[in-house]
Structure 1
Amino acid sequence: MSRRESPPPPSPPPPPQLLGVRRGEVECDDRPERAEPLTDAEREIIQDSWGHVYKNCEDVGVSVLIRFFVNFPSAKQYFSQFQDMEDPEEMERSSQLRHHARRVMNAINTVVENLHDPEKVSSVLALVGKAHAIKHKVEPMYFKILSGVLLEVLSEDFPEFFTAEVQMVWTKLMGAVYWHVTGAYTEVGWLQVSSSAV
């Protein structure tokens, strides 16, 4: 029996403050307010916890993308190579999905490694935002959704390192990432398109 025929029991929903967007709900708000800068202690918490994750970056990235595409199938519209994949096991075997998972995790790693250098972080996220706005034409809300899925997977797969305190700090970081990315969208003149498909 395949996973599609017999889905696993649903996991309890994560706390709303962790995700910002619940499955099936998408809020299209204006650009958020800029988050307070991370403190030195918060940067250290992020870098310490990320060290455990990055050892398994490809597998973690694949888990994140599979959950993202299964829970938000409308996101697959931006990936012609994944559009026809519905079975999580098929996604897991996809070399293209693994390649994209590595790219996502490496981008996060670049941010984490450069938390001491806000200008570097800003320039990296501006490049990511502009590429997704101009080249891929991805709705910016998917960054918020993907951030939530990432935090959900990290807290489940690494519970000893992603305590409630660590999750709060990561939520702050993901808010800053989203702020920078949406800033890049604004800079290139992105026009909000309502997406009722989500």
Structure 2
Amino acid sequence: MERKQGEVDHLELERPSPLTDKERVMIQDSWAKVFQNCEDVGVAILIRLFVNFPISKQYFSQFKHIEDVRELEQSSQLRKHAHRVMGAINTLVENLDNAEKVASVLKLVGKAHALKHNVDPMYFKILSGVILEVLGEEYPEVVTPEVGTAWTKLLATLCYSVKAIYDEVGWTPPSASTG
């Protein structure tokens, strides 16, 4: 199910419905258990992303040429990025009741990935799927189908919001080479 760069011209997303109070509580309760193993879970998520979608490594100059999974797992740069990803998710989850804080975090993430790193927004959707997959496998007793549905909705909201920020800053995909 790997997508090749340039295969998707643009990412069209529908605005998800807002999280209910029950969904917010389920997400926060499940995250509290997951976040206890923050670094390991973050590394597992990034490793899964890079194994299943190797093209995604193109955005990481520090470790994009590392092919060996064990070597990737030991990369201090990968661990540092995993920690940042998990920290951003943690800030979102902790502030689900504070729409302004959530919007602020998503704006920072969206602008950085659009303007500084030039990451195609489709990778947020791909990463969301990887996050759901890893959480479901690593924490099946915590991420039940009902909790998974709430996480799906949260991650869809994240993707929608980040894509809106990309649009706001005028991000355009790099032209695919035709050679």
- Letter matched to residue 115 of structure 1: L
Contact 1:130 1:185 in 2 (8 A): yes
Q: Does 1:70 align with 2:71?
A: no
Q: Which residue, out of 110, 114, 126, partners 2:107?
A: 126
Aligned-partner Cα distance in 1 for 2:15–2:9: 17
Q: Does 1:116 align with 2:94?
A: no
The total of aligned residue pairs comes to 174
TM-score (norm 2): 0.92
* Counterpart position of 1:41: 22
* Counterpart position of 2:143: 162
Runs of 4+ more than 6 Å apart: none
Unaligned runs of at least 5 residues, structure 2 = none
Aligned-partner Cα distance in 2 for 1:113–1:185: 24
Contact 1:28 1:141 in 2 (8 A): no
- Letter matched to residue 17 of structure 2: E
Aligned positions of 1:52-67 closer than 5 A: 52-67=33-48
Deviation at 1:24, TM superposition (A): 1.4
Structure with more of its chain in helix, by fraction: 2
Give the match's secondary structure for 1:56: helix
**Quick one: structure 1 residues 194 and 141, their matched pair in 2 at CA, closer, same or farther if it must change by over 3 Å?**
farther
* Counterpart position of 1:79: 60
Give the match's secondary structure for 2:154: helix
Aligned-partner Cα distance in 2 for 1:28–1:117: 33
Deviation at 1:27, TM superposition (A): 4.9
Deviation at 1:83, TM superposition (A): 1.3
* Counterpart position of 1:24: 2
* Counterpart position of 1:9: none
- Letter matched to residue 148 of structure 1: G
Deviation at 1:192, TM superposition (A): 3.3
Unaligned runs of at least 5 residues, structure 1 = 1-22
Deviation at 1:191, TM superposition (A): 1.2
Deviation at 1:73, TM superposition (A): 1.1
Q: Which residue, out of 160, 163, 166, partners 1:182?
A: 163
What do the CA deviations read for 1:19-41 (whole angstroms, capped 9, x no partner)? Answer: xxxx3147554441211110111
Q: Matched residues, percent identical? A: 61
Deviation at 1:70, TM superposition (A): 1.1
TM-score (norm 1): 0.84
